Structure 1
Amino acid sequence: MTDNQYMTLNNGVKMPLVGFGTWTLRGEQGKQVVLEALAAGYRLIDTAHMYGNEDIVGQAVAESGIPREEIFITTKLCGTRAGYKLACQGIEESLDRLQTDYIDLLLIHEPYAEAAEMYCALTEAYRSGKVRAIGISNFNAREYLAFIENCDIIPMVNQVECHVYYRRKELQKTLETHGTKMQAWSPFTEGQKPIFHEPILQALGKEYSKTSAQIALQYLVQQGIAVIPKSSHRKRMEENLNIFDTTLTAEDIAQIHQLETGKTLFGWYDD
C-alpha cells in the first residue's frame, strides 16, 4: 500500500483508509474470508468483542504469512466490559483471542455510561504499549464533546455510521477540530438502501470506469473519512481497494451530496 492509502492519526500512527469489516463472519468459513481479504491486499481488519470472531481474525492473521507489523487490527470493547476493571479484563481477552502482543486500534463500541472508566483502561493500555491507538465508536457530536472534556488523550478515531445518504459533515468537522478522525462503518448501508443501483453513482461510475460501490467509497475517502466495507467475494474485495487511481471533482461530490438525507438508517444517533 502506498502513502496515499493511509491516514495519519493524531499520535502519528498511520491507519489504512480502506479496511475490511468482519461483523458477519464466523467459524472456519469466516476465517477463510479474512484470509482471502488479506490475500487481496487488505491491511486493516476490523473486529469487536460484540462480533464474537476475534479468534478467527487472530487465526487468519497468524496463518496469512504476512508480518504482524504490516496488518492493522482494530477491535472494540462492548457493554459486557463496561467499567474500568472489566475493560482491563477485556483488553487482555482481546490480546489473547487475537494471538497478538498489541492491538493497533482499540475502541469503546458505544457511548456507555461507563465509557470514561473504560477509557482509563484504554489509556493505560496505550501508554504501556499494548495498544497503538485508542478511540470511540458511535458517539454523536454532543456525546463526543462531553466525553473529551475529561480525556487525557483525545480519541484518535470515532467509528460511526457514514455513507452517501448520511454524510455527517458537521460531526466530522467537530471531530477534526479536536484531532479525531472519522471512520465509516456501513459505507454500503448494509442493504438498507439500493446504493449499488443509485443512478448518480452509476453515472459517475460509467464516467470513471468504476462501480457504484467504488464511487461511494471514493466519495468518503476523498473527504478524509476512512471506510470499512465488507464483501465475501474476491472480485468485490479487490474492487473496493482499487479506488485510489480516481479523483472525483467538486462537481461530482456536489452531485453525490444530493443523496444526503440527514437521517440514520440504523437508529443509532440523534444528531
Structure 2
Amino acid sequence: MVKTSQPYARLNNGIEMPLLGLGVYDMYNAEAEQAVHNALEIGYRLIDTAALYNNEAEIGNAVRQSGIKRQDIFITTKVGNTDHGFDATLKAFDVSLDKLKMDYVDLYLVHWPIKGLRKDTWLALEKLYADKRVRAIGVANYLIPFLDELEGYATVPPALDQVEFTPWLFDKALLQYCKQRNIQLQSYSPITRGKKFDDPRLLQLCEKYGQSPAQVILRWNIEHGVSTIPKSSSKTRLQENFDVISFSLSPEDVRFMDGFNEGFRICDNPMDML
C-alpha cells in the first residue's frame, strides 16, 4: 500500500491500515458513491461498508472510477446478521465481493455477535483468510466477554474489533484488552452523531486548539491509537475530519477527555446479545 500523509496501523498479521477512514452507514445510491469519490480525492484510503448498508455496489463503483490503484485503498465489509453460520457466511461473502466487483477485500468483519452462530461464522472467516480472499479478518461489536469466547476456538486471532467508542463511552478495559492482545480497536459513530457537541468541556478544548468538536473528538481517538471511521457525505465535513491529522492533543487533555465517560451509547448494546 502506497501511504498518504496520515497515520497508519500495522495489524497483527503485518498488513497496514489507515487509522482514519470513511464510514458509509446510511448512505445510498448516488450519495454513497459521491461521498467515497470525494473522500478518496481528499486523501482517505480506508472505506468501511457492510452488507447491511446496502451500498457495496456504489462503493465499488467509486473505487474503480477513482483512478487509484486497488492495492492502495483499504476496503472493509461485514457479514450481515441474517447470514451467520459457516455456509451462509461463505455465500454472503461471495455476494459482497460480486457487488463490490473486487477480487478480494482487505478486512472482513463479523458485524454483530449473533447468539448460537458465532463459532461457525468465525470459522468461515478463517477459511476465507486461509484461501487468501481477504487480507485480514476481525469482528465488530465484540466486547470483552465475546472476545474471551472467541479466544476459545479461534485459530486466527481477530486483527480488529470495531465498536462504538467515544469519550462519553470510553471503555478503558476493552482498549487495554485489545492492546495486550494486539487487536486493533476501531471506533464507529465516533462523533456521537453530534449529540455531544455542546458539552462545555469539549467546547473548552475546541477553543484551546482552534478546532471543531468533531475534530477534537476524532483526534482523541487517534491519540489513543484507535482507528476511527466517521460518516459524512459533505465534502466540507470530509475535509474537516481528515484535517485531524494536522494537530495533536496534549496527554493531559487526552486524559481529561477520558473523564467524559458516562456510558452514553448511540447504538444497541452488544451485551444484549450475550
| Same fold by TM-score greater than 0.5 | yes
TM-aligned CA deviation for residue 4 of structure 1: 5.5
User: Contact between 1:159 and 1:185, CA under 8 Å: does it hold in 2?
Assistant: yes
Work out whether residues 107 and 134 of structure 1, in 8 Å CA contact, stay in contact via their aligned partners in 2. Answer: yes
1:150 partnered with 2:142 = no
Structure 2 distance, partners of 1:233, 1:138, is 27
**Structure 1 residue runs of 4 or more that deviate by more than 4 Å after TM superposition:** 1-4
Name the structure 1 match of 2:14: 12
Rounded Cα–Cα distance in structure 1 between residues aligned with 2:158 and 2:124: 13
Indicate conservation of the 8 Å contact 2:113/2:270, yes or no.
Answer: no
Distance in 1 between the 2:222 and 2:140 partners? Answer: 18
Structure 1-normalised TM-score? 0.94
Matches within 5 A, 1:207-226: 207-226=208-227
C-alpha distance in 1, partners of 2:266/2:34? 30
Q: Answer whether contact 2:160 2:184 (CA < 8 A) is retained.
A: yes
Residue 130 of structure 1 corresponds to which residue in structure 2? Answer: 133
State the shift of 1:3 in Å.
6.8
CA contact under 8 A between 1:164 and 1:257: conserved in structure 2?
yes
Flag structure 2 segments of 5+ consecutive residues without an equivalent.
none
Alignment counterpart, residue 163 of structure 1, candidates 159, 163, 166:
166
The answer to whether structure 1 residue 176 and structure 2 residue 179 are counterparts is: yes
What SS does structure 1 have at the residue aligned with 2:105? coil
Deviation for aligned residue 1:39? 1.2
Displacement after TM superposition at 1:255 (Å): 2.0
**Cα shift readout 1:99-137 (whole Å, capped 9, x = no counterpart):** 111100000001112121111111111122110010000
CA contact (8 A) 2:21 2:230 kept: yes
The corresponding residue for 1:81 is 83
Superposed CA RMSD: 1.6
1:175 CA displacement: 1.8
Give 2:228's aligned residue.
227
CA separation in 2, counterparts of 1:263 and 1:196? 13
Alignment match, 2:55: 53
Given the superposition, is the C-alpha separation of residues 10 and 60 from structure 1 closer, same or farther in structure 2, using an over 3 Å criterion? same
Aligned ranges 1:62-81 → 2 under 5 Å: 62-81=64-83
Contact 1:154 1:179 in 2 (8 A): no
Q: 1:198–1:212: 8 Å Cα contact kept in structure 2? A: no
- What one-letter code is carried by the residue in structure 2 that aligns with 1:158? D
Equivalent-residue separation in structure 2 for 1:73 and 1:4 (angstroms): 17
Q: Secondary structure at the match of 1:107?
A: strand
User: Counterparts of 1:81 and 1:141 in 2: how far apart (Å)?
Assistant: 23
Residues 69-93 of structure 1, C-alpha deviations (whole Å, 9 max, x = no match): 1110000001221110011111111
The one-letter code sitting in structure 2 at the alignment partner of 1:167 is F
Q: Which amino acid aligns with 2:175?
A: Q
Cα distance in 2, alignment partners of residues 97 and 270 from structure 1: 31
Count of aligned pairs between the two proteins: 269
Name the SS for the 2:244 alignment partner. Answer: coil
| TM-score after normalising by structure 2 | 0.93
Counting aligned pairs with the same residue, the percent is: 35
Shift of 1:223: 0.5
What residue number does 1:121 align with?
124
Q: Which runs of 5 or more structure 1 residues have no equivalent in the other structure?
A: none
Give 3-state SS (helix, strand or coil) of 2:142's partner.
coil
Flag the structure with more relative contact order, 1 or 2, with Cα contacts below 8 A and sequence separation at least 6. 2
* Paired position in structure 1 for 2:242: 241
2:31/2:233 contact within 8 Å kept: no
Q: Distance in 1 between matches of 2:264 and 2:214?
A: 20
